[in-house]
């Protein structure tokens, strides 16, 4: 009788261990699956962010905050008004996250000079305008003409230079 009881107890113990093992196994499988799913979602989010930067950069120069419009006498596509951008830079906080990219940067590429970031004190003797101060991990860029009003001998004239408009994304 005592032997039978002991044998029964052993079986229940066996079963309990088995159950614990099964539960642990399923929990591990579930966690593994969940990790894969989360990484897939993260990957697709970064792909979407990349796609956004790619498509945005091609049309950003036409958006009203950037485009030259008719202010330089002619209507040109991919023309960025640098005076307007400097005014936008002063309002960068208000525009935070507006275009859904981590940063937007305009870099003069011709004539080539040492990189100097534009501030209200050194403008226009500079060649990089950063809309946000955030570092760019990856970027897409597009060539644009960067135009502004200049003064020489008391006369105002339009000055346009070749620049790269960059939209950054983290991913």
Partner 1 sequence: MRKDGIEFSFTWIFAMIVGMTILFLAIYAATRITQTQETVIDASTAKEIGILLSPLETGFESAKTTSLILPKETRIYNKCNNNGNFGRQVISLSQKSFNKWTDTDIDVGFSNKYIFSDGFVEGKKFYIFSKPFEFPFKVSDVIYVTSSDKTYCFDDAPEDIRDELSSLGQENIYLENCPEESIKVCFSGSCDVYVDYSSKYVEKENEKMYFSGDSMMYAAIFSEPEIYECQLKRLMQREVQLIEIYNGKAEIVSAKGCNSDVKNELSILSGMISDIKGSENINTAVIGTVDDIKNKNEISRCRLW
Q: Which stretch binds partner 1 (CB under 8 A): 103-111, 131-139, 144-152?
A: 144-152
Residue with tokens 């093992």: 21
Distance (Å, whole) CA 15 – CA 165 = 67
Q: How far is the CB of 166 from partner 1 (least distance, A)?
A: 16
Q: How far is the CB of 64 from partner 1 (least distance, A)?
A: 5
The smaller minimum CB distance to partner 1, of residues 159 and 164, is found at 159
Count residues near partner 1 (CB under 8 A): 51
Q: Does 99 bind partner 1 (CB under 8 A)?
A: yes
Short-list 120, 94, 101, 96, CA closest to 60? 101
Q: Which of 9, 13, 19, 122 touches partner 1 (CB under 8 A)?
A: 19
Distance (Å, whole) CA 111 – CA 116 = 13
Q: Does 122 bind partner 1 (CB under 8 A)?
A: no
- Ranges of H-type helices in 71-139: 82-89
Pairing assessment for the beta strands 155-169 and 138-152 based on DSSP bridges: antiparallel
Strand order in the sheet with 79-81: 79-81, 138-152, 155-169, 103-110, 128-130
Which of positions 27-86 make contact with partner 1 (CB under 8 A)? 30, 33, 37, 41, 44-45, 48, 51-52, 55-56, 58-60, 62-65, 67, 69-71, 75, 77, 81, 83-84, 86
| Backbone φ/ψ region at 73: left (φ over 0), alpha (ψ -120 to 50), beta | left
Footprint of partner 1 (CB under 8 A): 8, 11-12, 15, 19, 22, 26, 30, 33, 37, 41, 44-45, 48, 51-52, 55-56, 58-60, 62-65, 67, 69-71, 75, 77, 81, 83-84, 86-88, 90-91, 94-95, 97-100, 123, 149-151, 154, 156
């Amino acid at each position: 009788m005592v032997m039978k009881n002991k044998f029964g107890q052993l079986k229940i113990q066996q079963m309990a261990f088995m159950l614990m093992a099964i539960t642990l196994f399923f929990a591990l499988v579930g966690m593994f699956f969940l990790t894969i799913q989360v990484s897939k979602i993260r990957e697709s989010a970064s792909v979407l962010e990349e796609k956004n930067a790619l498509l945005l950069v091609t049309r950003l120069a036409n958006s009203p905050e950037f485009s030259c419009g008719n202010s330089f006498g002619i209507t040109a596509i991919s023309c960025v008004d640098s005076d307007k951008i400097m005014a936008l830079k002063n309002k960068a906080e208000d525009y935070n996250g507006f275009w859904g990219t981590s940063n937007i940067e305009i870099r003069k590429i011709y004539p080539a000079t040492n990189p100097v970031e534009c501030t209200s004190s050194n403008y226009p003797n500079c060649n990089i305008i950063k809309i946000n101060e955030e570092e760019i991990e990856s970027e897409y860029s597009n060539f644009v003409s960067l135009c502004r009003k200049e003064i020489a001998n008391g006369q105002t004239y339009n000055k346009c230079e070749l620049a790269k408009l960059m939209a950054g994304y983290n991913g």
